[in-house]
Amino acid sequence: MRQFLSNTWRLGIKELWSLRRDPTMLVLIAFVFTLGVYTGATAMPETLNKASIAIVDEDQSPLSQRIVAALYPPQFSKPQMIAWSQMDRGMDAGLYTFVMVIPRNFQRDLLAGRSPRIQLNVDATRMSQAFMGSGYVQQIVMGEVGEFAQRYRDSAVPPVDLALRARFNPALQLSWFGSLVEVIDYITMLSIILAGAALIREREHGTIEHLLVMPVTPAQIMLAKVWSMGLVVLLACWVSITFVVRGLLHVPVAGSLTLFFAGAALCVFATTAMGIFIATLARNMPQFGMLMILIILPLQMLSGGSSPRESMPELVQNIMLVAPTTHFVKLGQAILFRGAGLDVVWPQFVALLLIGGVLFALSLQRFRKTIAQMA
């Protein structure tokens, strides 16, 4: 047993030295856990910001001018007053996200008790602005029209007072959620890449043949890759959470980082084994990259980090229960956002341990078969 652990330790140190001599991987690790996390957290705007809007005002009334004046920065850029003939050409060219058409005699029809219509054309290809902005425009127009029709600013007390209490993210800041989800996604991605690339690199450099003549077993070789690459990922994750998430983005972490890293270690154990399994199927690095994309994209999109699992089809939810990232995302969100303890997240720990054990056994069996074919 002592010799087994000693061989595993020495092989792991060899993997770390090999990674040290690979500047591309080092740059990738540094980028994804610093700039990758920061840009992923801040790239998506939290509110509507400087959406381009044009207005075809055929009424030229005090009410239409009031509506135009209500569309002001920072939600919207300064409204462009255009003619009807310019509307289609401007939207086709992508100049405007919104084009509002106020018809002739709009104010007169409103005061006469009729129901005039305002047309709002939306460029739906600008998805985030289109979805948020259409609601903003509707609220602004309805508010200004209602106040004008009633001749006063409406300050009536609503019959029901809804007290909103946003738990775990009181300010509803998207960067709080986005940064930690990016960290979780990058843990999965890098652990697969590093473990698989380490095996592919040894095969391409011919060092795997040197290992075959040494008194080491396939299990020792695999465990060495798992603990060494897992250690690199966990250290990079700690740096990212400490200096980027908590330091630069000022995101508070509610729970225990020790408990989170314990869960991350189990997830890394499973995903590094998955990376080695993929590497045994691929003949070279390009094939490994293509297979990795087919695995990583579903893991990131369907594990509950990008969108709630409850909104997915039940079949997809059941299939993704065998993925380690599903349980890691649930575990990470519970610990980091809600401050959950081991009494809450122990089912996810057990699931990760079982999934990791199965993946490691399958990868070891495949790895032994690959080595036997090379011998």
Residue 198 lies in a domain: yes
Contacts from 164-167 at CB under 8 Å and sequence distance 24+?
A: 167/338
For residue 38, what pLDDT is reported? 87
In a domain, 161, yes or no: no
If asked whether residues 283 and 357 sit together in one domain, one would say yes
Q: Is the pLDDT of residue 340 over 80?
A: yes
The CA angle 107-113-119, to the nearest 5 degrees, is 50
Rounded distance between C-alpha atoms, residue 116 and residue 104, angstroms: 10
**Are residues 143 and 275 both part of a single domain?**
no
**Residue among 301, 283, 282, 268 at smallest CA distance from 195:** 268
Kindly state whether residues 140 and 205 are assigned to the same domain.
no
Q: What is the pLDDT of residue 47?
A: 67
- Does 135 lie in the same domain as 93? yes
88 lies in the same domain as 192 = no
- Tell whether 292 and 195 lie within a shared domain: yes
- Where in the sequence is the domain holding 340, given as residue range(s)? 2-44+173-374
Q: How far apart are CA 252 and CA 93, in angstroms?
A: 43
Q: Where do the H-state alpha helices sit in 71-126?
A: 84-92, 106-111
Is residue 179 situated within a structural domain?
yes
Strand, coil or helix: what is 251? coil
Share in percent of the chain as helix, strand, coil (round to 5): 70, 5, 25
pLDDT of residue 166: 67
Using the 3D structure, point to which of 150, 165, 186 is the last residue of a domain.
Answer: 150
Q: Does residue 36 sit in the same domain as residue 57?
A: no
75 in the same domain as 196: no
Q: What is the pLDDT of residue 45?
A: 61
Percent of the chain with pLDDT over 90: 19
The total of structural domains in the chain comes to 2
The residue out of 116, 150, 184 marking a domain boundary is 150
Same domain for 356 and 289: yes
Using 50, 70 and 90 to split pLDDT, how confident is the model at 169? low
Helical packing angle, 2-20 and 218-239, nearest 10°: 50
* Residues 59 and 196 grouped into a single domain: no
Domain assignment present for 164? no
**Cα three-residue angle 188-289-219, rounded to 5 degrees:** 65
Q: Is pLDDT above 70 for 338?
A: yes
What are the residues facing 76 on neighbouring strands? Answer: 51
- Please count the other Cβ atoms lying within 10 Å of the Cβ belonging to residue 159: 5
* Cβ atoms 199, 276 nearer than 8 A: yes
Taking all residues of the chain, what is their mean pLDDT, rounded to a whole number?
Answer: 84
- CATH classification at residue 117: 3.40.1710.10
Q: pLDDT tens digit string along 226-260?
A: 899 999 999 999 999 999 888 888 888 888 899 99
Q: Answer yes or no: is 156 within a domain.
A: no
The dihedral built from the CA positions of residue 207, 290, 261 and 24, taken in this order, carries a sign that is: positive
Does one domain contain both 192 and 296?
A: yes
What single-letter DSSP state applies at residue 77? Answer: P
158 domain-assigned: no
pLDDT for 75: 82
- Give the separation between CA 179 and CA 249, rounded to whole angstroms: 8
Whether the CB-CB separation of 63 and 55 falls below 8 Å is answered with: no
pLDDT digits over 262-277, tens only? 999 999 999 999 999 9
Residue-level pLDDT at 158: 59
39 and 57 housed in the same domain: no
Q: Is the dihedral of CA 60, 66, 69, 72 positive or negative?
A: negative
Strand partners, 108: none
